[in-house]
Structure formats: C-alpha cells, structure tokens
Amino acid sequence: MTPLIKKTNKMTMTNKVLTLFTIALLLGLSQHTVAQNFKISSRDNQTTINVNVDKQITWSVTKYGVEVLPEVKIDMSVDGKPLAENPKILSNKTITYNAPITAVVPHKSKEIQDVYNELQLKFKGGFGLQFRVYDEGVAYRFHTKKRGEIEINSETLDITFRSGTRSLFPEEKSMYSHYERLYLDKKLDSIASGQFCSLPVMFNTTDAIRILYSEADTYDYPHMFLQGNSSNKLSALFPKAVAEIKPQPGRRVDRNVIITKEHSYIAKTNGTRTFPWRFFVISNEDKTFIEQDMVFKLSSPLAIENTNWIKPGKVAWDWWNANNIYGVDFESGLNTATYKYYIDFASAYNIEYVILDEGWTKSTTEILGFNPDIDVKELIRYGKEKGVGIILWCLWKPLDENMTEILDTYAGWGAKGVKVDFMQRADQYMVNSYTEIARECAKRELLVDYHGAFKPAGLRRAYPNVLSYEGVRGNEHNKWANYITPEHNLTLPFIRMAVGPMDYTPGAMRNAQEKNHSINFERPISLGTRAHQVSMYVIFESSLQMLCDAPSAYQKDEHTARFISQIPTIWDETKALHARLGEYLAIARKNGDNWYVGAMNNWKARTLDIDFSFLPEGDFEMTIFKDGANANRYAEDYKIEKINVDRNTRKTINLAKGGGWTAILKKR
C-alpha cells in the first residue's frame, strides 16, 4: 500500500508543475498574441478612431461610414529602442471635454469652443498615448515619463490611405527651405521614394472626402515631413539635430548656411514631456477647412501675463514695391525722407505700422547700427507723433548670435516689433529659436512676424505677440514668376491658412488678366482683378496684414486705399458661405458690430448667391467693392456701390475671371 501512495503523490506533484507551467506559458503568450482594441467617437458620432494594440500600435479612422484612413502605424525610438514594440497596456481611460478658449488675437473666432472625446492609454515602459476625436477631425500624441534627458532617434508614422487617393503635395527638394510651395496634384502611388513634402498637406479620396494633415504644439522638437514610396502609404521624415554649420560662400553668406554635421538623433529632450500633436481634419465639406481651428485648440495655453500691449493691424510695406514713390520733391529710396512719406501715408489712412525692410541697417550682419541715409530713431519718434508704429526687419542669423543686445536695443529705440527672416530650417534648434524669439520679444513688448519660415504649429497661442508667418508662396513671387494664379490663391485658404495666419502680403495695385500679365521685379503685377486683391483682406488671415504696394499707388487710387483701410485684421466670428478648393470661396467675418464679406474666384467667371441670414436683426448699410463691367478684359476695372441689407436679404454677385467681391456692413 505504501509504495502505491508514494507513486500517486509523485504523479500529483508532476501534474501540478505541468499545469502551472502551462498556465504561465499561456499567460505569457496571451500578452503577445491577444490584441486589445479601443474605440472612440466624436460628439456627432460621424467620426470614429479604432485603436489596435498588438505587437505594434496601429489605428484607423471611419467617417460617414467610410474607412477613410485604413491604417496608421505609430511608434517612437527612444535611446535606441522602440517604445511600441510588443506594448503592454497598464491602464486606459476615456474623457469628454467641452470648454471655451478665448483667443487674445483671434484669427477666426474670439471664442473657440473646444469639444472632444479623448482616449488615454498608459503603457509599461514609461510612455502613453492620447487620441482625440473632434467633429471636424482626429489627433494623437505620445508622452513619456523618463528620468533625465532622452534621445529621440526617430518617430514612426506610416499612413495608409485608400486606393486612388490623391494629394495636393507641397513637394520640397530639401528640408533646408523657405516652405513656399505650390500644391502639386499627385496620385499617392506616383510619389516615389525620396520624394517628400512639408506640412500642411491635403489628400482627396475617391469618396470625395478631403483629409488635411499637419501638427500642433511643436516645442523642442523638429517639424515633420512626409515621404512617399510609390504606394498608397506616406511615412514621417524628420531633419536630424544639427551638430555643425558653416556659412554658405557667396553673396548670401549673411543668411545661408551649410549643415556640415548632424547628430544621430532628431531631438535630445526632457524625458518627461508631451510630444507634438499629429492631426487630421476630415470632411466632405470644404467649408470645414475654413472654419476649423485645430492647431489653436491643440496647442499650449497662454504663457505670458500681460497682453494689453499686443496691437494687431495693417502695415505699409516697402520691399515689394521697391520704394517706387513719385510726385514728390525728394529722391525716393532707402532714406529718411522716403520712410517719413510712408509714415504720413499710414497715418492718413489709419494704418497702424510701417516696416523698415532690408536696407535700413548698417549692413545685413551689423544690425545694431543703421544705414547712414536712414535715421531710425527719428523715424520712430516721427511715427509715434503720427500714431504709426515702426517694425524692424532683421536676418535670423545675426539675431540668433546676439539676441539680448539686439532686442534690448530695438525696444530701447521704441520699435514696436521685428520681422525675422531667413530661418529656412525646421530642426530642433530652429524650433527652439522661434520659441526663444517669441518669449524674449514678449518680455520687451515686441511683436513678431516670421519670414523665411516654416508653417504655424501652435506657438501663437502661448505667445500671441507672434502675429504672422510667411511659409507661403504669396504676392512677392509676382516679382519674378507667373504662378501666383487665382487658382493658387484659392488653394491657400484650405491648406496653408488652415493651420494659422499667413503673411501673403496682398494689395497689388497693378493687376492683369492672364493674357495681359508680364513679370517685372521693380513694378510687379498680380494675376487676377483689383477686386480679387481687395477681397484678400477679408479672406486671408493675418493679424499683421501688409499693404504691399507703394503709397503713391494707393494715393493715386484713393477709393481702393480707403476701402482697404476700413477692413480689420482680427475677427470675432467666421462663417464660410461658399467654398470649393481651387475654385471659389466666400466668407463672412464679424468684428465688433460690423460684418465683412469677401469672395474670390478662379479663372472661370461665375455667380454666387449670398445669403445674409448670418446678420443679427436690424438694417445694415453695405459698401461693396466689386469687379467692374470690363474686368474680364481690364483687370483693374472695379466699382464701389452702397445698398441697404438685412438678415432677410439674398443677393447674387458676379465674379469676373480671377475676380473678387468685398462688402463692409455697418449697422444703421
């Protein structure tokens, strides 16, 4: 009996060990083979993100019942190791958020309603993810919680689109760029490996759904680019952190550099932080891209206490018109008399600022002293007397090398702001430089306008003294090219302007239809009608809005100048009335008690019906600036008229080829 009992006990122990081993093995395998899925939808239930956590992290988006983004793969390589390889979830949480944001400098709306549902995932290994779903789009970002500094070697974003998707592709030849691109209509599978674009970028699906992609809240981190591989997939590309540079030999030694050495990483940064939001605006209505404000909503809140000194406004600008002043008793050019004339013009037309562009300094590198023919201190004094502020242009490179002394000097003179030019990069150091300039200028109550710049990515919410960015192929290109067409002008609001203000520099007073156009660097001519240029003051968003032509040109046609001078540069409310990318656009905007309507057209003459039901109760006097009867032949032909309207008014407007229509509505 005893041996039998011993044998039985031995077998029982063996079975127990095998059972425990089997359970442990199955548990271990389950952690690697059983995927976890999460779903989160927008408030209107039209948009849904499906997140899949398996051996890697992927997600997809459904909108209007269509899977518009079949697969998005994401990861980050930190200190040489991928974060999301066999990821293990520690916790998940869903929140709903609904609160207003008040914009200090409103480009679309003063009160922005921030409404979203958010999925929060926390993973083993000290990282997490946030997914947000808005009615107008989706967004995600990583965050990490690690000690000390970390190196981000790379970031993975592989976006797979539906077959047949096309892109309006702002192709770059180099990441060293002014980011002033045309939008090339390309099938995704025609974009080969090695071809890449800057952001923002627009995609058009075969289901007539548009998808805009860009980023927000980008701090201490490079900007993203997207590259192709001859398929329906695009992947993230980043500039490496710069280790060494040297000046480019030749005539542009003061502004262009050659990157001679790069680090192996794209960013070295704090180990505990959030990373930039990556977002998609998705809609089958083009109006959505005009009215949405995703970058602002996804960006860090106000970082400065006193904002009362920040005054948006219009600017009389010198460089585009080559100081072509006439009918005066002095020789125009880079001299004190010319700029006093600009100040007199600005004062007479209630224009808030004059920019002294390239040429006012002793040299482009010696920017603490001025050109002996220009007395900057006297111009600032004279401008103050006339109620006009002076903004000073400078190159980024010398500013970066001596920022404290230069900004102290400009502020000490009484300048109102700086226009910083020729950054031309989007690596981590340059992104940090933008932040430093904004912060240091805010300390000294200086406004900022970035030229030679990448696109807006959220800095202006934290530092509302940042009033505008270039990063747009705008009116200046009319000085040397003929591709700034009405179609291009009607592409910009849906893509580039969708991420923030753009310093396009409107206001050309020499205008031509396509067959009459010619290129003239000293006396540039715009494509499209005079009314097309005027409508930009309502349609194009920039709280520091230029009048690009010469004071003499505006004074010669005082009616145009007086009309433009009445249009503000910030807006309490924005409503898109008609919108078709590349074809036409009509927008109504509110400032105080007044409303403003702008309409623009491509090369096809058309009519649009304007419904004034956006108006409050009461009667309004409407002053209209529209294409003249002969604008299809002579682009400078226009007509100004006044009529009375109310919220029950419906009006059909006529737009010439490359035409425009603008109305100022004041309550009676």
pLDDT in tens, 459-504: 999 999 999 999 999 999 999 999 999 999 999 999 999 999 999 9
pLDDT over 50 (residue 450) = yes
pLDDT of residue 251: 76
**Position of tokens 């240029």?**
533
In the set 286, 440, 470, 476, the catalytic residue is 476
pLDDT of residue 528: 98
pLDDT band, very low/low/confident/very high, at 252 (cuts 50, 70, 90): confident
Radius of gyration of the chain (CA): 28
Q: How far apart are CA 638 and CA 168, in angstroms?
A: 33
pLDDT of residue 274: 98
Torsion (CA) 145, 147, 149, 153 in degrees, nearest 10: -50
pLDDT of residue 342: 98
pLDDT tens-digit map of 24-83: 444 444 444 479 999 999 999 999 999 999 999 999 999 999 999 999 999 999 999 999
To the query of whether residue 155 is one of the catalytic residues in this protein, the response is no
pTM of the model: 0.94
pLDDT of residue 239: 98
pLDDT tens-digit map of 173-214: 999 999 999 999 999 999 999 999 999 999 999 999 999 999
pLDDT tens-digit map of 255-306: 999 999 999 999 999 999 999 999 999 999 999 999 999 999 999 999 999 9
**Helix 530-539 with 558-565: angle, nearest 10 deg:** 10
pLDDT tens-digit map of 594-635: 999 999 999 999 999 999 999 999 999 999 999 999 999 999
pLDDT tens-digit map of 530-581: 999 999 999 999 999 999 999 999 999 999 999 999 999 999 999 999 999 9
To the query of whether residue 421 is one of the catalytic residues in this protein, the response is yes
C-beta of residue 371 within 8 angstroms of C-beta of residue 362? yes
pLDDT band, very low/low/confident/very high, at 386 (cuts 50, 70, 90): very high
Q: What mean pLDDT do residues 136-141 have?
A: 98
Other beta carbons within 10 Å of 163: 13
Q: What one-character-per-residue DSSP string does 335-369 give?
A: SHHHHHHHHHHHHHTT--EEEE-TTSBSSSS-TTS
Domains of the chain: 38-297 (2.70.98.10), 487-499+514-540+568-668 (2.60.40.1180)
Q: What percent of the chain has pLDDT over 70?
A: 95
C-beta of residue 420 within 8 angstroms of C-beta of residue 358? no
pLDDT over 80 (residue 15) = no
Mean of the per-residue pLDDT values of the chain:
95
Q: How far apart are CA 405 and CA 58, in angstroms?
A: 49
In the set 180, 421, 572, 583, the catalytic residue is 421
pLDDT of residue 515: 95
b/e map 278-312, b = 16+ CB within 10 Å: bbbbbbeebbbbbbbbbbbbbbeeeebeeeeebbb
pLDDT of residue 34: 79
**Position of tokens 């959220």?**
458
Task: Please provide the distance, in angstroms rounded to a whole number, between the alpha carbons at the two ends of the chain.
Answer: 113
- For residue 595, the cross-strand partners are 590, 665
